[in-house]
Structure 1
Amino acid sequence: MFKKVFFQLHWFMGITAGLVLSIMGVTGAIYSYEQQILKWINQDSYVVAVPEQAKLTPAELYSHFSQQDPTLQINSVTIVNEPSASSTVNIAKEGHRRGYNMLVNPYTAEVLPEIRGEGFFEFVEDLHRRLTAGEIGKQITGACVLMLIYFVLSGIYLRWPKKHSLRQWLFVKPKLKGRNFIWDLHAVIGTWVVLFYLIFAVTGLYFSYDWWRSGMFKVMGVERPQMQQPPMQGGGQGAPQGQQARDEGRPQGERAQGGERNRQGADRANGQKEKVQLSPEQINTALTATWAQFPQQLNREYSSMTLNIPKSADPKVEIQFVDAEPQHERARNSATFNYADDNIEKLELYEDKKLNEKIMSSMLPVHRGSFMGEPYQFVAMLASLAMPLFFITGWMLYLKRRKQKRLTREAKQGSNVVNLDPNAESWMILYASQTGTAEQIAYNTSTALQQAGTPTQVKALKDVSVADIQQAQRVLFVASTYGTGDAPDLASNFAKKHLKQSFDLSAVKFAVLALGSKEYPDTFCTFGHELNLWLQSNQAHSVMDVVEVDNGNTADLERWYAGLASVTGSEIQAVIPEKTFDQWQLISRELLNPNSLGEPTFDLKFKALHAETWHAGDIAEVQCGNSVERIALFIEHHQLDATESLVYALRYKDLTQSIQPDSNDLAWIEQLSNLPSREYSIASIPEDGYLQLVVRQKQISDNEFGLGSGWLTVLASFDENVPLRVRTNPSFHLIDDNRPAIFIGNGTGIAGLMSLLKQRQQLGYSQNWLIFGERQQSVDYFYQAQLEAWHQDGHLQHLDLAFSRDQEQRVYVQHLVMEHEERLKQWIADGAVIYVCGSIEGMASGVDQALTETLGEEYMTTLREESRYRRDVY
């Protein structure tokens, strides 16, 4: 539940704040290269021809412009060491809070062209920080940056897998399709940029909220400087926080006005001494002396140096300079030079600061990435540009989840007969069904009785009590046998609760129709006979002997209806729907486990040649056929003419029966019964566009295969159609709500689980946990790419695997059930449904025992009663 809340908040914030963050990401990426872009498009302002002479000194530049315009207020002069680089004179100017940077030719003092593009970057910055919406926009962007922190942390939490794989975490898998690829792109690229986004968010909030800024200073252990608003100084004044942020990103030559701020700070530090208006000659003397002595005394290479114009009688000049190879554009050094004593009174070097002090004094470089060097800044810029990707893919995933399709419930078969005999005795028909066959026969029986005028009522055995049976008095039981002679899952609670107890059923008349398969002679119709024995031992009166039905055999069912006609004294027409197999085209047959220690397992795909649909969990019943060689032997043995029509007619017949064929009259073929059919769990959903099976090949001898597996994996060809019909299996359908689901299976049981997981994905239900087992991970990991993609994108919240032969001590899925006892209990407490698919021997029985030991017999009873324990085992 905790993870579900995280996920819901993650996508909700993503589709609401994603657009704002996308805008901030793109504008941030552009703004991070403001300096480089401005210099690139303004070469005529930043670069000059280098003549055979020295650059003009700060004093010479000051004198030149002060003589040109005595009213001009100059704040600072910046000289760049690079011979071709222009110098900067910062002057007070209306509308420029930090002064106006005038780029000049350092050799002639010619004013160079104004910088083009500054207005664009001012707009980009305003869009980045405030969406150009002032204070309201600032609050919106600040809130969205807070959400970005949540996205980063919740994204890591939601993606965190049980088993960590470098490939899962860091590599996009282009072979994935549709929603899986979108999610993989969203998650993998998100992992790449998670560190960048966390830094963007933490540092970006520094410029948004004062409380956050104060907290960062406290956490970093740095004393926060006291920001005081200095008085107006001839058009220059202290800038607001946003302007300071912008100035921090300026090149040294464009930040000459920063000296004005430092000079004012020095004045405050000196007790706000009364300022004396210095004459141009005095300023010229101060600048000349400082420029002549300070660089020599500094004895340190620099790339640029800014001298702030002194405005105090104190013989001091505030200086800022940048090292020859600075860590970043904000790595500035400062000094105070006493030109009267030719002495450096104060020197603060950036490199001497502790790391925490460097970070807190260089927040903009940290934010844009230049603090960590140019390679990092470039990658950070790409990460910032990728922000819209998450908004787009997030919306795509959200819209796909919205396309939820509700499963329709199977309409009950029955007749709306109204001409019932008012004097006829009513019969209750109870069915115990695992795959739906007993339920269908129960409703067919009801239809046959109603058509004869006999009232009926049909119920599942799990939904009645002994008192209901006693009250009904006339009861027909249609009971399947499941697994190794057990009651069907949905009737197991009834069997455990009542079949070992005694009741007074002397007033009850009953009959039992027992369903089974003679392929399992030891357990043939076991549960039907147990019901019959229990009823008789409790003095109930049997109206006919138990009718056994072998694999839906028509003759067996006809005996059932004949018995009912005798009991009711009515003329009853048997309702036995003929099995109608549709034609499907085999379009793909792929070996899933080459070099496996086990039997070959194949993935088969069929295309319907007609309109067809089914539900996840349904079963494909395949009509088995004979090989061409088997038919040829039969024809040769009986000395028949091998005509094309005869070969075709014998394709699906049981050729082991004793019969005297007539080569001239093919009517004898009708006496041959069809080969048995075989049932397989469907691994696909209709939206896949094909019907998919997973079939393990059974080899009886060197040249003989199992009837069904041999037909599908060897004999069935791509140029002929395969008779196949879809049979509903309601007891293994999805519960129609978004509760957690636990899927457990082994081997070819992955088929039924795959269809359920695909349907859950279509519905947008992501609380899924798969436990799957096979022999060796290297060769028997069926559908590995799909399962791991589901795990990565969060569709499978947990993927636990048991490969029994990969270690000396055998590990099976039931062991994983026990291992994850606490998680299992929590999921069940949250309402989870358990789906088990695979072999009854070993796996299903072992899982049932593990669940019982973990949850307790009483809780397992509750799960069965609530249809929260569903199995498709064989």
Structure 2
Amino acid sequence: MTGTAEISMIVAFGTDMGNAEDAAMTFAESVAPLGIQAEAIELNQVEVAELQSVTHFIAVVSTFGEGDFPDSATLFWEALESSTERLENLSFSVLALGDSSYEFFCNAGKLLDAKLEQLGATRIVDRVDVDGFYEQPAKAWTADVVKILTAERGATAPAEAVAAPAPGRERHEEFEAALVVNRLLTAAESDKEVRHYEVDLAGSGITYQAGDSLAVHATNDPALVALILTELGVGPDHLVPDHDEPLGVLLSERLEIRTPSRALQDVAGPAAYGEDVLDLIKRAGLKTEDVLDTLRPLGFRDYSIASSPLVHPERIHLTVASVRYPGAGRDHRGVASTFLADRADRIRVHLRPNHNFRLPAPDVPIIMIGPGTGIAPFRAFLQEREATAAAGRAWLFFGDRRRATDYLYGEELDGFLDSGALTRLDLAFSRDQDAKVYVQHRMSENAEELFSWLADGAYVYVCGDADRMAKDVDATLHEVVARGGGMDADAAHTYVNDLVKSHRYVRDVY
């Protein structure tokens, strides 16, 4: 497409926590001066047939779990993957967001890019794979695409089209807040450590909604930093070429030393489950110059907010499991979870809005599935429904290991039952009987009633572990629909897909 050819465009995103959405919205703003009208939409809202009727397709997609598409893109990918319709008249570009510490780095973006090429579409620019912080690479990719589109528009392009892309929204503005509550939720004899935190928002200007997350900017464990310095044979004041700060500061505040990067594993060999940077340094006998440039920037950690602003406008509550486990003759600790538990009194935070994970109208029924720390956003939902005297029914599935030690917010949940904010509570404590019982078992036991709630328009929310729980719950939801609705597997699959597309089945999983 050259000269003054008209451009029609779809800009779409597949996002988990909003980064891909933000990058796509910024791109759409950046092509407006070219006279190209495009609104960033979820990939699930795009019909594959629409790609036949536009000239350009711009996709920003993150990768979820074990190389999967995020929920907001799964339906589109399902349709595109099976499509054989040729797309020779389509130009496209893919921005892939990911994390190289995971095995299937940017896999969703790679799959999408390859499939579009297979169907005959032409790349505007090569796919860009972003590792971690996305804003600068996304701006550079946007600028590259806009430059080529400007050339395509030729003489008809308005003068302002050659201007720099519109700046992205400031989503990562940090605030230093006081951590005013830090209390143990689990009983002392529990084999887990889950804590309740409260962050003071006074002076922050932060306003949040139930369903949002809070990003915590932690520093690394001083004990681990000291062990790494000892293993490298240098002190904390050791200066490294091309770095303005001494090594001790870099390892404490700037670099990820808990989760080995893919680049470090290329040098030292693959990391076993639970190994950190020190484990790899020791095993491979690495020196400072071997290690430093392989380490990724220290990223923030996301936690689902466990409070409603209607009840706690000046505070954000968090529910966090402290990660601690032995290995290689020493203790290993999570970065942010033990920073909060052991060392923090003031913390740097920023808000992470989650626009998809929101309560529906007050009279709409909701089904919440949140074992363990997955209870956090549902505590927020129930606070909000209680505060507004919402008429809609609410059903919570909660589980953990043992009721006596791990019934997180148990008294509060019982109180929500008493007030009517919670209509029904089904519990699954896996270690309280010989056969392990999980939330998906409770769902299956109540298939007919669950489906009747769905038939009445209920929204389904899932929060918690992505690797096991979310997959098991998803499989069980399909079974519930098939059994409760008298459908075969294909019809149940279509029914659940419709729930996803209409945002009546949403997940906040990690």
Q: Classify the TM-score, shorter chain.
A: 0.7 to 0.9
Cα distance in 2 between the residues matched to 1:468 and 1:740: 34
Alignment partner, residue 777 of structure 1: 403
Alignment counterpart, residue 105 of structure 2, candidates 524, 529, 534? 524
Match of 1:836 in 2: 462
Name the CA distance, whole Å, in 2 between partners of 1:659 and 1:554. 29
| 2:154 counterpart of 1:539 | no
State the distance in 1 between where 2:374 and 2:4 align.
50
CA contact under 8 A between 2:179 and 2:198: conserved in structure 1?
yes
> Distance in 1 between the 2:61 and 2:50 partners?
17
Please state if 1:764 is matched with 2:389: yes
Note the C-alpha offset of 1:426.
Answer: 4.2
The answer to whether the Cα contact below 8 Å between 1:583 and 1:608 also exists between their aligned partners in 2 is no
| Counterparts of 1:436 and 1:625, CA distance in 2 | 24
Find the aligned partners of 1:842 and 1:478 in 2 and give their Cα distance.
27
Distance in structure 2 (CA, Å) of the matches to 1:489 and 1:778? 35
For 2:210, the equivalent position in structure 1 comes to 616
> Which range moved further: 803-812 or 589-598?
589-598
TM-score (norm 2): 0.79
Classify the secondary structure of the residue corresponding to 1:827. Answer: helix
Please give the alpha-carbon distance, in whole angstroms, between the structure 2 residues aligned to 1:737 and 1:597: 37
Deviations 1:645-702 (A, max 9, x none): 9888985222869989xxxxxxxx9xx9752111111101223241111111112544
Residue 640 of structure 1 corresponds to 237
Structure 1: 5+ residue runs without aligned partners?
Answer: 1-420, 661-668
Corresponding pairs, count: 438
Match of 1:861 among 483, 492, 497: 497
What's the CA shift for 1:822? 1.4
The alignment partner of 2:348 has SS state of strand
Secondary structure, aligned partner of 2:83: coil
Letter aligned with residue 654 of structure 1? L
Q: How far apart in 1 are the matches of 2:506 and 2:206?
A: 25
Alignment of 1:712 onto 2:294: no
Q: Pairwise CA RMSD of aligned residues?
A: 2.9
Residue identity matched to 2:118: S
| Counterpart amino acid of residue 806 in structure 1 | D
Deviations 1:371-426 (A, max 9, x none): xxxxxxxxxxxxxxxxxxxxxxxxxxxxxxxxxxxxxxxxxxxxxxxxxx997734
**Measured at CA, do residues 477 and 792 of structure 1 come closer, stay the same or move farther in structure 2, by a change above 3 Å?**
same
- Tell me the equivalent position of 1:682: 305
Alignment of 1:460-609 (within 5 A): 460-521=42-103, 523-568=104-149, 569=151, 570=162, 572-573=164-165, 575-577=167-169, 579-595=172-188, 598-609=191-202
Aligned-partner Cα distance in 2 for 1:690–1:834: 27
Aligned residues of 1:436 and 1:731 also touching (Cα < 8 A): no
Matched, 1:795 2:388: no
Q: Deviations over 1:126-153 (max 9, x none)?
A: xxxxxxxxxxxxxxxxxxxxxxxxxxxx
Which residue number in structure 1 is paired with residue 255 of structure 2?
Answer: 654
1:741 Cα deviation from its structure 2 partner: 0.4
Change (3 A) 1:655 1:777: closer
Work out the CA distance in 1 between the residues paired with 2:48 and 2:393.
38
Q: Which amino acid aligns with 2:180?
A: I
Aligned to 1:748: 373
Q: C-alpha distance in 1, partners of 2:87/2:502? A: 27
Query: Over alpha carbons, which structure has the higher Rg?
Result: 1
Report the residue type matching 1:784 in the other structure: G
Conserved 8 A contact 1:773-1:813: yes
Measured against aligned partners, the alpha-carbon deviations of 1:773-812 in whole angstroms (never above 9, x if no partner) come to 1000100000000001111222211100000010111100
The aligned residue for residue 506 of structure 2 is 870
**Which residue number corresponds to residue 695 of structure 1?**
320
In 2, Cα distance between the equivalents of 1:574 and 1:659? 40
C-alpha displacement at 1:641, in angstroms?
Answer: 9.3
Letter in 1 for 2:167: V
Could you say what secondary structure the match of 2:53 adopts?
Answer: helix
Alignment of 1:141-290 (within 5 A): none
Deviation at 1:457, TM superposition (A): 3.3
Question: Which structure has the highest helix share of the two?
Answer: 1
Instruction: Give % identity.
Output: 31
SS state of the match for residue 806, structure 1?
A: coil
Structure 2 CA distance for aligned equivalents of residues 557 and 851 of structure 1:
36
Q: Is there any run of 5+ residues in structure 2 with no aligned partner, and where?
A: 152-161, 240-244, 258-263, 265-286, 482-491
Match of 2:360 among 735, 742, 746: 735
The one-character-per-residue Cα deviations of 1:157-210 (angstroms, maximum 9, x if unpaired) are xxxxxxxxxxxxxxxxxxxxxxxxxxxxxxxxxxxxxxxxxxxxxxxxxxxxxx
Give the whole-Å Cα distance in 1 for the aligned partners of 2:225 and 2:509: 33
CA contact (8 A) 1:745 1:843 kept: no
Partner of 1:495, secondary structure, is helix
Q: How does 1:378-389 map to 2 (within 5 A)?
A: none
Q: CA deviation at 1:490?
A: 2.6
Q: Which has the higher contact order (CA 8 A, sep 6+)?
A: 2
Q: 1:713 to 1:499 in 2, by over 3 A?
A: same
